[in-house]
């Protein structure tokens, strides 16, 4: 299998709030701000095709986490298409020290970065609550 090289230029700039179809942008922002205070949560990236909102406890890792988020979501879409799995609802990448929970809401993609001890289901419930 041949690996494709990806460009770092895919990183979006921080811009206006992103509209979310399932919930209002303000509710999503409030939910993400609350999630950021949960034990073990490192931060989040909320992006669409034109802008991104990034909030991480360690701003020196923004590029690393942005590449991880984008690559994980792209890989899930490619694998889903390759194996006819249908729409991907969420993807979890478990690393040695950090987990990433990524999913899409409409055109928007959300990635939440957390330590191993963080409660993924609690985060999902908060983001999908009305």
**In this structure, is the dihedral angle defined by the CA atoms of residues 81, 32, 12 and 5, taken in order, positive or negative?**
negative
In a domain? residue 115: yes
For residues 73-88, give the mean pLDDT.
92
In a domain? residue 24: yes
In a domain? residue 6: no
In a domain? residue 12: no
Q: Does pLDDT of 15 surpass 90?
A: no
Q: How confident is the model at residue 130 (pLDDT cuts 50, 70, 90)?
A: low
Q: pTM here? A: 0.78
Digit-coded pLDDT (tens) for 40-76: 999 999 988 888 899 999 999 999 999 999 999 999 9
Strands 52-56 and 91-94: unpaired
Question: How many domains, in total, are found in the chain?
Answer: 1
The CATH number of the domain where 46 resides is what?
A: 3.30.450.30
In a domain? residue 4: no
Domain that holds residue 62: 17-128
Spatial separation of the C-alpha atoms in residues 19 and 47, rounded to whole Å? 10
Contact by Cβ (8 Å): 100, 112: yes
In a domain? residue 7: no
């Amino acid at each position: 299998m041949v690996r494709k090289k990806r460009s770092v230029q895919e990183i979006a700039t921080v811009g206006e709030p992103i509209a979310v179809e399932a919930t209002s942008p303000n509710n999503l922002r409030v939910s993400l701000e609350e999630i950021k205070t949960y034990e073990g949560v490192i931060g989040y990236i909320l992006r669409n095709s034109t802008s991104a909102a990034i909030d991480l406890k360690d701003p020196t890792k923004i590029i690393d986490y942005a590449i991880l988020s984008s690559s994980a979501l792209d890989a899930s879409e490619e694998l889903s298409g390759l194996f006819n799995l249908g729409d991907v609802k969420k993807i979890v990448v478990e690393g040695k020290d950090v987990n990433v929970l990524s999913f899409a809401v409409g055109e928007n993609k959300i990635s939440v970065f957390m330590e191993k001890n963080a409660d993924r289901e609690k985060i999902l419930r908060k983001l999908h609550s009305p």
